[in-house]
Structure 1
Amino acid sequence: MKQTHPQAPELDPTVRHLYVHVPFCPSICPYCDFHVLTRRSGQVEAYLDHLEAEAQRLRSRYRIDLRTVYLGGGTPSFLRDAEMERLVGIVRENLGWGSQENTLEVNPGTVSAARAAHWRSLGLDRASVGVQSLDDATLRFLGRQHDARTAREAVSLLLEADFRVSGDLITAVEGQPLEDDIRGLAGLGVEHISAYTLTIEPGTEFARRGLEVSEEDERRGFEVTAARLGELGFARYEISNYARPGGESRHNLAYWTNQFYLGLGPGAAGHYPSSQPGVLAERVTRPHLHRWLAGESGEPERIGPEDYVTDALFMGLRLVRGVDLADLSRRSGLDVQARYAAVLERQLRRGTLILEGGTLRATDAGRWILNQVVTDFLEG
């Protein structure tokens, strides 16, 4: 292995992004493996009380200047108006508010004109809507509680309330009219579409039923989505994400470019700066609700220069624009091209990666097996 001499990393310790996890849902979808639960009496109040205490701890520990806030879940839009007001107030009073983008994940069945206007008045300006399909049979199979008409109305109401709107689609569902779904969602006027392959995760209802997704259906969904959305004016900028010009998710770009972000709430993951020698960052995942309410906070995973680089490659190679290796070298303190010369040569020869002008990008073939490509860096 070629030895390299690390330089002092150039990492800005300011945290500019915040993810808040709201675990409550009206019902649990059979494919979902996120930390979610249906609400019970007193749980939301206890959640908000503990959220406030956790926000105060984060404020005291880090230098924070937020550019984006993302309320995810779960179903944040399931919160009642007073609960949403309190949640936003907790964030604003303790951590600030996003100067560029503030996103609310929305279940179509929770939207009305009045609620959309209320969310907008609180300073939320982007909505990520769990449409999943515009075919009623597909929605029933996926266990969604809304129908296609409700999804269309929800998107329209949010646009009328002056939200930037993103719609989620699930692909590779047997019998799904995928091209109709794509054209239908694009035609509603959304600026962003996230298209995710149906994945059967252990412990979910679909896994207990023994359902499987064929590689053929997965590939077809992958290819059809890219082709049709391209024809409709959406550019792919990440493996599963497409946007009209200027419609990219600024918050999610922080993940894909390995920036620091706060994780607030049960089940939330955070990526934090570290002041310990030889440690560039810490990753912390909060425990689930009951343990979180009992005071557990999650053990930090300390990230040194090499782990920082492989994390950045794993996320950044998902982006069509790829990774600027000189910038990554400055941030990590490692000469990335020298340290991973053998791996780079091997993957370039295999045609999974392209290196042009100091920018490393995955090819179409490389994106399909990206986990394997990054494993080569981990082992290299």
Structure 2
Amino acid sequence: MSRPVPPFPTLNAPILDGTVRHLYVHVPFCPSICPYCDFHVLTRKSGQVEKYLERLEAEAAWLASQYDIDLDTVYLGGGTPSFLRDAEIGALVGSVRRHLGWGAAENTLEINPGTVSPARAALWRELGFDRASVGVQSLDDATLKFLGRQHDAAGAREAVTTLIGAGFRVSGDLITAVPGQPLDSDVHGLVDLGVDHISAYTLTVEPGTEFARRGVTVHEDDERAGFERTEALLTAHGFARYEISNYARPGQESRHNLAYWNNRTYLGLGPGAAGQYPLAPKSGGTLTSRRTNPHLHTWLTGEQGEPEPIDAEEYVTDALFMGLRLRAGLNLNDLSRRSGLDVRARYAQVIAAQVQRGWLALDGAYLRATPAGWWVLNRVVTDFLEA
């Protein structure tokens, strides 16, 4: 439910670009379900992918009829998009291109190391993908076995080498705080392979997962040690931490994910996919609309998620939650311009209190979280919500 905007200072009418420039496509199929995974994923069954592709085409056509679209980035996530057979991923890309176009700046494919071969890498490049996000997770066989991964360290190394040789910009995923993990050699190994981007996520045990049923736990001391050690190692190798969990060599940041962290509009295509959509002018104080698609079986019937209107207050708090994940933080002047709400005046007391605690820093127009603030970011954002 939207909250009414209180009588705090506002600017002129909100200014939001009505053109959608980013597309996320969800492919829910996986060869197996990892014990830590709580995403909408499932193993494929006979005829299921064909139905998925038919429904995807129809949804892409519908999105094209609803919005002004000029794509900068496309991201195929999952699930395991690279698990699709060659003809299937070709059909998916064809549907996107026919109805929505293709990214002018960056097109990412999430890839499982076990699905890579030189021929497949060449096909993915021909289809228009230029960035690969590879689920390496570790380069230690014992750690990979604990995580339930189907590939081994040698397979991960070969996959990354093959993709770089095919001309991809490669990002390697790494899970930290795993019991017994040789973190230093994992980080050094990924860097030595030649990746230009690393996403390092702490192992999280979510309710309903196999790890939760087994009673696997992650200790905060291990989480913090992995958090700090990963940054120290990657910084020494010339990587910059530009977001809480993401590191890149200069110019190799994920353009698509930066759209999320900067609270831009984007399309969500496929079962379980979320999108943030622009609205027509004079929409009763609403700036954007958020919609999350239902899971596969319901989505295949043609159902879509209900749109949730986002007003200026919620738009700003969403932007703060995402933007404070970035090392650079967010520009309050730009956020005020986009939302129509004078953010600095509206949240002056909260900002001052957080700066005094050492959780936030205000540098000119830029508000950013300190390293201490990153550890309590949910608390920081809650204070904004309760203001």
Both proteins in one fold, TM over 0.5? yes
Note if 1:297 corresponds to 2:281.
no
**Distance in 2, Cα, partners of 1:64 & 1:270:** 13
Q: Give CA deviations for 1:141-175 in whole Å, capped at 9, x if unaligned.
A: 00000000000000000001000000000000010
Match of residue 307 from structure 1: 314
What does 1:44-55 correspond to in 2, within 5 Å? 44-55=49-60
Displacement of 1:312: 0.4
Displacement of 1:2: 7.4
Displacement of 1:211: 1.0
Q: Give CA deviations for 1:58-93 in whole Å, capped at 9, x if unaligned.
A: 000000000000000000000000001000000000
2:352 alignment partner, one of 342, 345, 349 = 345
SS at match of 1:70: strand
**Distance in 2, Cα, partners of 1:355 & 1:240:** 22
Identity fraction in percent? 73
- Asked whether the 8 Å contact 1:59–1:95 carries over to 2, the reply is yes
Displacement of 1:345: 1.0
SS at match of 1:56: helix
Is the deviation greater in 284-293 or in 273-282? 273-282
- AA partner of residue 238 (structure 1): E
1:213 alignment partner, one of 214, 218, 222 = 218
**Distance in 1, Cα, partners of 2:36 & 2:7:** 45
Match of residue 140 from structure 2: 135
Q: Give CA deviations for 1:4-24 in whole Å, capped at 9, x if unaligned.
A: 234211111100000000000
- Asked whether the 8 Å contact 1:279–1:302 carries over to 2, the reply is yes
* Alignment TM-score, normalising by the size of structure 1: 0.99
- Asked whether the 8 Å contact 1:2–1:339 carries over to 2, the reply is no
Q: Give CA deviations for 1:92-137 in whole Å, capped at 9, x if unaligned.
A: 0000000000000000000000000000011110000000000000
In structure 1, runs of 5+ residues without a counterpart are none
Q: Give CA deviations for 1:348-369 in whole Å, capped at 9, x if unaligned.
A: 1111000011100100000111
**Distance in 1, Cα, partners of 2:13 & 2:378:** 29
* C-alpha RMSD of matched pairs (Å): 0.8
**Distance in 2, Cα, partners of 1:277 & 1:147:** 54
1:18 alignment partner, one of 18, 23, 27 = 23
Q: Give CA deviations for 1:307-336 in whole Å, capped at 9, x if unaligned.
A: 000000000000011110000000000000
Note if 1:33 corresponds to 2:38.
yes
- Asked whether the 8 Å contact 2:11–2:336 carries over to 1, the reply is no
**Distance in 2, Cα, partners of 1:350 & 1:299:** 39
**Distance in 2, Cα, partners of 1:245 & 1:221:** 23
Match of residue 104 from structure 2: 99
- AA partner of residue 355 (structure 1): L
**Distance in 2, Cα, partners of 1:368 & 1:2:** 32
* Alignment TM-score, normalising by the size of structure 2: 0.97
In structure 2, runs of 5+ residues without a counterpart are 1-5
Match of residue 291 from structure 2: 284
2:324 alignment partner, one of 317, 323, 329 = 317
- Asked whether the 8 Å contact 2:22–2:73 carries over to 1, the reply is yes
**Distance in 2, Cα, partners of 1:377 & 1:326:** 17
Match of residue 185 from structure 1: 190
- Asked whether the 8 Å contact 2:174–2:198 carries over to 1, the reply is yes
Note if 1:195 corresponds to 2:193.
no
- Asked whether the 8 Å contact 2:28–2:79 carries over to 1, the reply is yes
SS at match of 1:201: coil
- Asked whether the 8 Å contact 2:11–2:337 carries over to 1, the reply is no
Question: What is the aligned residue count?
Answer: 380
- AA partner of residue 342 (structure 1): Q
**Distance in 2, Cα, partners of 1:309 & 1:163:** 35
Note if 1:355 corresponds to 2:370.
no
